[in-house]
Amino acid sequence: MKLLPLVFKNLFRKKTRSLLTIGSILLPLFVICILGTMLRALDSDPSNGKGMYRLIVRHKVSITNWLPAAYDPKIRQLPGVVEVLRMNWFGGSYVDQSARNQFARFSTSDADRFLKVFDEATVVEGSEKEWVDDRSGLLVGRLLMKKYGWKLGQKVTLKGDIYPVTLELTIRAVFEAPDETGVYFHHEAIEEALPRVKGFVGWYWIKTASLEATERIPAQLDAMFENSSFPTKTETEKEFQNGWVSMLGNVKLLVTSICTIIVFVILLIAANTMAMAARERVTEIAVLRTLGFRKRQILGLVLGESLLLSLFGGVLGVALYALLFPGFREAVANSPMGGFAAGMKLFPEILAVAFAVTVFVGLVAGLAPAVRSAQRSITDGLRQVG
Amino acid sequence: MLGIPLKYNVRNLFVRKVTTSLTVAGIALVVMVFLCVMALGEGLTRVFTASGSDRNVLVLRQNSQSELQSGITRDQVPLVETLPGVEKDADGKPLASAELVVVLNLEKREGGSSNVTIRGVEEKGWKLRPGIRLTEGRMFSPGASEVIVSDGVSRRFKDTNVGEELHFGAYRWKVVGHFDAGGTAPDSEIWTDVEGMINTFKRNGYSSVLARTPDRAARDLFVAGLSSDPRLALEGKVERTYYDEQTATAAPIKFLGLFVGVVMAIGACFGAMNTMYAAVSSRTREIATLRALGFSRLSILASFILESVFLSLLGGLLGCVLGVLAVKLALSGVTGTTNFATFSEVVFAFRLTPALLLTGVVFSLAMGFFGGLFPAGRAAFTKITQALRQVG
């Protein structure tokens, strides 16, 4: 520990070099934090465990094929089903097709059951009753209200693509939930304009009574409709989300590979700096040895400097990331991938990984120069010029 | 002005082997990562830019962004096909194919699942897409619940070999053939007979009509005719434009490539700067000697910038080699992602174009230039007398 002041002094002897090295560790670590957060967000569960009690039932062929609305009573009578919610993807557009105006638009045949199935959501403005009672009422996520500066009672026009209708809906309630990037309205609003779509829905949400029910119902329900004209596939909310991630392709492998290579790049840069520093101090280290410094102490001196250098870069990189995180999250929320932002947090495990990378880089980068410095004989060191 | 020979710099780089190779390796890895991610984006973009013909018009319901969202009723089809501008075949029948697209959720061979487009086509659908050919098995026979699968899809999804069966509850299709569409959109699709498909899925119409026009004038006439008919409420889009509009799918990947590339390049640039500062400070006396011999400040500046540029050029070239090796060896198969415009899988291959490689090299030259600028400046303004007096 007595060596610490000397390590500090050594570190900032060449200020430009130390600052450049810190910079070249800081930036890659910042990238690792961002990529790591994206990766971790793919696995996150924004519902905080409430999703364990939710199942989704879709057409076996794919979610874009509709199911009969009449499955509702048959599903409800299964033991362990607490509530059933029929949902539908409206799609369409708000104002225009630009990235800024992309958000999820759903219609439901059972507005009165919505908050029973999504019980992590609470209405914070307006009231559930007003929304349920108004056939052209709209339930809006808080984040969207803020983004577009909407007010309660305001009319919002949605233009359909799958459904060739233009809907004028009135904001009746605002909800707060982990994912606040969607709007919900009554399926009757579409059915009134397009009678031919009556009788069909996109998918069913089920709220189950217990984990036992969550496990049992999928097989039971799918067997019930197996040989009908509309076979089903029932999954837990988690499996359903994983399905989306899987649709993106092998993102995890791509991002993990990028991160691994980035670690190598930092390692090379840090190792270069330490090699240069050690080379310049050959004579000096020999002098220290003649003064009575042990090999072990020399080892510690060089390794400590390397570790400290890396830690400076790493801690600053993580700090920069933590500082910019709210802005980064908001940028993602406002992008077409807005739904993704719900799962993004300042994950402590990502910060821990970044810290571990820093320590690893510091130790490995300093190892070769440290061992070489410690092992070099005093006479050799003193003989060296320059 | 007398220039310092480049050999001076090259030799110096090779004297400091460890430092040079560490710096070169760092730059090479950055260039490689950049190239691989961009090759991914390029491969995806290529599917869309290579797809569709200028002479084909895709007819969709008004406001539909994709075929999946569109719907065309049975009675609308003859009205569309008889509009002026549609090319006729030898028998005098319009060259147009009414098609239905549905999305199937298939299991991938590597695990997980994804949506794949199954397209019901009329016989004329083949004539409208001349780039497609059968690679294995035979064509589906109409009405027999048979499908042909693209090579790309069959490599990525289970139950798609010739002779196997795709089934979803009561829905069953036998795979009777494989086809290849030369890297265009149908390479991500499964094809079957449209009437059989309408029966299976109990639909009351089609998704789209693809019509061929003989030339640009006829095409514009046809598109104008469609939009001016209020009974139809349909619109025509040139097939090539339709696919071009989907290139946005590749935007997030390209953004990732640029973001990682640029931030890492700044990091590697700092590394190069470090190396160059060390090079300059260890040669202070040498530089002063060069100045005393009559070389100008400008020559010194140029010389050290060149040294740095050369250093990172080595890195850039090595990065290109690594990138090519990675794409050829490790990433040579087909991969896929979901196109959210059509809500289904796009199958594509990594594509490392000469233009991309050039970008990689330019990228490394920029790192070298900025990394060398300040150290070279320090070298150029070395005080001759002081430096020569310096010991060691």
CA distance B383 to chain A (A): 19
Residue A124 lies in a domain: yes
- The Cβ of residue A351 has, within 10 Å, a number of other Cβ atoms equal to 17
Residue B54 lies in a domain: no
Residue A194 lies in a domain: yes
Same domain as A136, residue A77: yes
CA atoms of B338 and B296, how far apart (whole Å)? 59
Identify the pLDDT of residue A385.
Answer: 63
What is the widest separation between alpha-carbon atoms in chain A?
96
Same domain as B216, residue B289: no
Looking at chain B, which residue has its C-alpha nearest residue A222?
B169
Instruction: Say whether A169 sits in a helix, a strand or coil.
Output: strand
pLDDT averaged over every residue in chain B: 91
Same domain as B212, residue B78: yes
CA distance B211 to chain A (A): 22
Residue B57 lies in a domain: no
Buried/exposed code over B360-387 (b: 16+ C-beta within 10 A; e: otherwise): bbebbbebbbbbbbbbbebbbebeeeeb
pLDDT digits (tens, 9 = 90+) for A109-125: 999 999 999 999 999 99
Most confident of A338-342, B41-45, B251-255: B41-45
CA of residue A183 relative to chain centroid, distance: 21
CA distance A123 to chain B (A): 30
B37 with A258: Cβ contact below 8 A: yes
CA of residue A102 relative to chain centroid, distance: 19
Same domain as A266, residue A316: yes
Instruction: Say whether A229 sits in a helix, a strand or coil.
Output: coil
Identify the pLDDT of residue A129.
Answer: 95
CB B272 within 8 A of CB B363: no
* Residue B198 half-sphere exposure toward CB, CA atoms < 13 A: 18
pLDDT averaged over every residue in chain A: 91
Residue B56 lies in a domain: no
pLDDT at residue A128 above 60? yes
Same domain as A322, residue A258: yes
CA atoms of A330 and A313, how far apart (whole Å)? 26
Chain B interface mutation, best of A20, A309, A324, A328, highest count of B Cβ atoms under 10 Å: A20
Residue B241 lies in a domain: no
Residue A241 lies in a domain: no
Same domain as A213, residue A72: yes
pLDDT at residue A386 above 60? no
CA atoms of A235 and A346, how far apart (whole Å)? 29
CA atoms of A351 and A356, how far apart (whole Å)? 9
Comparing CB atoms, the residue among A17, A229, A247 nearest residue B170 is A229
CA distance A273 to chain B (A): 7
Percent of chain B residues past pLDDT 90, beyond the cut: 69
pLDDT at residue B28 above 90? yes
Identify the pLDDT of residue A266.
Answer: 92
Residue A183 lies in a domain: yes
Same domain as B373, residue B287: yes
Identify the pLDDT of residue B198.
Answer: 93
CA atoms of B85 and B94, how far apart (whole Å)? 10
pTM: 0.89
Helical residues (DSSP H) of chain A, grouped into ranges? 4-11, 15-43, 71-76, 114-117, 128-133, 142-148, 187-193, 211-225, 237-247, 251-280, 282-290, 295-333, 348-375, 378-383
pLDDT at residue B275 above 60? yes
Residue A53 lies in a domain: no
In this prediction, residue B13 has a pLDDT band, given cuts at 50, 70 and 90, of confident
Same domain as A373, residue A305: yes
Tell me the average pLDDT across A350-378: 93
Identify the pLDDT of residue A338.
Answer: 67
Comparing CB atoms, the residue among B19, B201, B252 nearest residue A275 is B19
Of the candidates B348, B367, B350, B371, the one whose C-alpha atom is nearest the C-alpha of residue B359 is B367
Same domain as A66, residue A39: no
B69 with A231: Cβ contact below 8 A: no
In this prediction, residue B248 has a pLDDT band, given cuts at 50, 70 and 90, of confident
Tell me the average pLDDT across A23-29: 93
CB A90 within 8 A of CB A160: yes
Residue B242 lies in a domain: no
- The Cβ of residue B190 has, within 10 Å, a number of other Cβ atoms equal to 25
CA distance B340 to chain A (A): 10
Cα torsion for A56, A59, A62, A66, to the nearest 10°? -110
Comparing CB atoms, the residue among A227, A233, A246 nearest residue B112 is A246
Residue B104 lies in a domain: yes
B63 with A159: Cβ contact below 8 A: yes
For residue B347, report the phi and psi dihedrals to the nearest 5 degrees. Answer: -95, 130
Chain A interface mutation, best of B13, B20, B33, highest count of A Cβ atoms under 10 Å: B33
Position with higher pLDDT, A241 vs B179:
B179
If one counts the domains in chain A, the total is 2
pLDDT digits (tens, 9 = 90+) for A309-324: 999 999 999 999 999 9
CA atoms of B155 and A251, how far apart (whole Å)? 19
Q: Which domain holds residue A258?
A: 4-45+250-383
Identify the pLDDT of residue A140.
Answer: 96
Comparing CB atoms, the residue among B63, B102, B277 nearest residue A16 is B277
Identify the pLDDT of residue A149.
Answer: 93
Same domain as A377, residue A270: yes
B338 with A21: Cβ contact below 8 A: no
Per CB-CB distance under 8 Å, the chain A contacts of B266 are 23, 27
Identify the pLDDT of residue B2.
Answer: 62
CA atoms of B190 and B100, how far apart (whole Å)? 12
Chain A interface mutation, best of B69, B253, B269, highest count of A Cβ atoms under 10 Å: B69
Same domain as A308, residue A188: no
Identify the pLDDT of residue A4.
Answer: 85
Per CB-CB distance under 8 Å, the chain A contacts of B61 are 164
Tell me the average pLDDT across A332-352: 80
Per CB-CB distance under 8 Å, the chain B contacts of A26 are 267
Residue A217 lies in a domain: yes
Residue A329 lies in a domain: yes
Identify the pLDDT of residue A339.
Answer: 66
Same domain as B271, residue B209: no
CB A201 within 8 A of CB A190: no
Which one of A230, A261, A279 terminates a domain?
A: A230
Which one of B232, B257, B290 terminates a domain?
A: B232
CA distance A253 to chain B (A): 12
Of the candidates A255, A189, A91, the one whose C-alpha atom is nearest the C-alpha of residue B37 is A255
Same domain as B83, residue B14: no
Most confident of A108-112, A343-347, B278-282: A108-112
Identify the pLDDT of residue B161.
Answer: 96
The conformational region for residue B202 under phi > 0 = left, psi -120 to 50 = alpha, else beta, is left
Per CB-CB distance under 8 Å, the chain B contacts of A97 are 65
Identify the pLDDT of residue B252.
Answer: 86
pLDDT digits (tens, 9 = 90+) for A33-49: 999 998 888 887 777 77
Residue B22 lies in a domain: yes
Tell me the average pLDDT across B103-124: 93
Tell me the average pLDDT across A321-350: 82
Q: Which domain holds residue B122?
A: 63-232
Residue B74 lies in a domain: yes
Per CB-CB distance under 8 Å, the chain A contacts of B169 are 60, 225-228, 231
Tell me the average pLDDT across A85-109: 91
CA distance B92 to chain A (A): 34
Same domain as B259, residue B333: yes
CA atoms of A287 and B384, how far apart (whole Å)? 30
Structure token digits, residue B83: 């509009």
Per CB-CB distance under 8 Å, the chain A contacts of B113 are 243, 246-247
pLDDT at residue B392 above 80? no
Looking at chain B, which residue has its C-alpha nearest residue A96?
B63
Same domain as A35, residue A65: no
Of the candidates A154, A153, A167, the one whose C-alpha atom is nearest the C-alpha of residue A106 is A167
Residue A319 lies in a domain: yes
Identify the pLDDT of residue B391.
Answer: 61
CA distance B138 to chain A (A): 25
Same domain as A278, residue A215: no
In this prediction, residue B1 has a pLDDT band, given cuts at 50, 70 and 90, of low
Identify the pLDDT of residue A32.
Answer: 94
Tell me the average pLDDT across B37-57: 94
Of the candidates A277, A275, A266, the one whose C-alpha atom is nearest the C-alpha of residue A310 is A266
Looking at chain A, which residue has its C-alpha nearest residue B371?
A20
Identify the pLDDT of residue B107.
Answer: 94
Which one of A230, A264, A280 terminates a domain?
A: A230
B338 with A16: Cβ contact below 8 A: no
Comparing CB atoms, the residue among B19, B37, B170 nearest residue A231 is B170
Identify the pLDDT of residue A1.
Answer: 58
- Identify the bridge partners of residue B288 per DSSP, sorted by sequence position: none
Which one of B203, B232, B261 terminates a domain?
A: B232
In this prediction, residue A258 has a pLDDT band, given cuts at 50, 70 and 90, of very high
Tell me the average pLDDT across A125-136: 94
CA distance A250 to chain B (A): 8
Instruction: Say whether A315 sits in a helix, a strand or coil.
Output: helix
- The Cβ of residue A46 has, within 10 Å, a number of other Cβ atoms equal to 19
Same domain as A72, residue A194: yes
If one counts the domains in chain B, the total is 2
Position with higher pLDDT, A221 vs A343:
A221
Looking at chain B, which residue has its C-alpha nearest residue A269?
B271
Identify the pLDDT of residue B152.
Answer: 94
A23 with B267: Cβ contact below 8 A: yes
Q: How many pairs of residues across A and B have Cβ atoms under 8 Å apart?
A: 171
Same domain as A353, residue A221: no
pLDDT digits (tens, 9 = 90+) for B194-203: 999 999 888 8
Tell me the average pLDDT across A330-348: 77
Identify the pLDDT of residue B163.
Answer: 95
Instruction: Say whether A79 sits in a helix, a strand or coil.
Output: coil
Looking at chain A, which residue has its C-alpha nearest residue B277?
A17
SS3 string, chain B, reads CCCCCHHHHHHHHHHCHHHHHHHHHHHHHHHHHHHHHHHHHHHHHHHHHHCCCCCEEEEEECCCCCHHHCCEECCHHHHHHCCCCCCECCCCCECEEEEEEEEEEEEECCCCEEEEEEEEECCHHHHCCCCCEEEEECCCCCCCCEEEEEHHHHHHECCCCCCCEEEECCEEEEEEEEEECCCCHHHHEEEEEHHHHHHHHCCCEECEEEEECCCHHHHHHHHHHHHCCCCCCEEEEEHHHHHHHHHHHHHHHHHHHHHHHHHHHHHHHHHHHHHHHHHHHHCHHHHHHHHHCCCCHHHHHHHHHHHHHHHHHHHHHHHHHHHHHHHHHHCCCEEEEEECCCCEEEEEECCCCHHHHHHHHHHHHHHHHHHHHHHHHHHHCCCHHHHHHCCC
